[in-house]
Structure 1
């Protein structure tokens, strides 16, 4: 039995909007504060620790709860990055710690190859644990991991698992193989795009409690039911579609068949699915849930969260799927093998259920390439 004090340590209300803080460590050209949904900008909190203030240039500045904390220290006309211990004793470090104390959920975003990132994150792991903040680490794992940071990074992962914080790796080389026009030279652009959309899809449903009652407590319960959920990495993926017939269907299939997901539908028993659409119909949601059960397995546990975004004139759908308690030995790394694995399942589904009406879905089943377009916002 799950201890209710652990699951809802800071609230007892059913339609509770958790206090969310997104913390971005920025000694790099990664920038995730672009084109978030209006909902996320208005109700979540954002903090960047680094040397370049992104909030001066935000389009949504009037609706943005953002705070920049500089880790640059200037003495005798010489600038250097402060040690974490110095930063967190400073006035701005204390301000950030006071903000952390009030949070229910924290999302940390950083690169694995940067030593400064890892040193600051090591301090943040301790603070977030001390203040009982439900924490997710979205880590961009770079093509090249320097030897001097690899050991520190691996040690840090062990530390966050001991503190029951969640590890979500996002590999640069897989991002390049996921988007249609991505190349090594444009990987930063596509990494920004992918992380931006993934985090937006993750946090926005929590901010719509009428559509997703008990979202915070139910999501937290999924992880705290077993300690192993904190000891394995989380595998995530996103899909996107503007298809006028079945955009939810195609977005889900794209997420399931993405190299990012590595066929985790066969390697996990528990999934969180977030769906973003301009409007929801019972028919579309029933079909999406049916396909999900047929692919993943009806006996497995999955939790669907939904929200509407600001879509202007585009009627697209985005779907993210998060696999928990993953058996890494069952993951598939080869992109072609992943495509064939999901196609085999879906062809059998189509033969028995005749669910797929979309021409694009039919094309996918006929072995045409399925990569993600550069989904914006």
Structure 2
């Protein structure tokens, strides 16, 4: 069988070269993160070229300056004391079509600063599938492999082709294949390296390449709630545009699509990951999904059944922070909350689940200058 080659366009400009942040400004992390909390930034670098990013990080390392390469700020909780080091924001926002063929699909490379949802939208509009269920997730393209982002039955590991990085240890740029990234549930070697290297790990993501299918219909729907919203069975395929609309509606119903008028969206998305435990550790009635030799269960179910309902925690912070009024997995900034307020709610929720079920929840966002 021969494979037809579809001549790709050389370059797709996605939008203006600005970071995906809630508000403009460069003085505090409250202006640079979706939860709108956090103290002052020590030094701010807004990079427009790859060379600027590499130079800023290399110079910081050589001069003993702590460095944070910031994406969309949707997965970062910074202490109220702030970060005295150098914050580098990648403002590049574009996609290159590397290769498109009838057999190999579409191989697309996007700059790390490209907003993730814009990348998804471009893929769907061009008839490429594999990431449509990841619509509406805030943050940047560069952050997607760090967390192995996933939702509604799809995750980054399904379609990731390679990641272009600057290696702070070797001081060289290189391309990493998925097998080299140690991708696991909401984690990777990129994320794990922050334990040794600090706010930004050993590898600074410069661009990300995905390999997508050539199809205007979605991949088989793997998530029951999404299938129900679409009125189809699990395993069905629907037009990707229709699936995107359904995902966005579901995310909006949970306050998971950024909206300045909706305080439930002033959050970091899911604050806790779904626990992976042995079947014997699962509480009676808890959701259970096979995950290798273990079982994955619902953090939201555990939180709710530990007595922490929607809106929980407002009394602990004088109404400044609480669980979302739409979804128990998100902790929200209700009005001028501090990071300390957010952590007060998080710690109380975590303690309630541990006391009730003996399961310790793990935070999904990166905590800078703080711990649970």
Higher relative contact order (CA 8 A, sep 6+): 1
Compute the TM-score of the two structures, normalised by the length of structure 2: 0.31
Structure with the largest fraction of helix: 1
Compute the TM-score of the two structures, normalised by the length of structure 1: 0.30
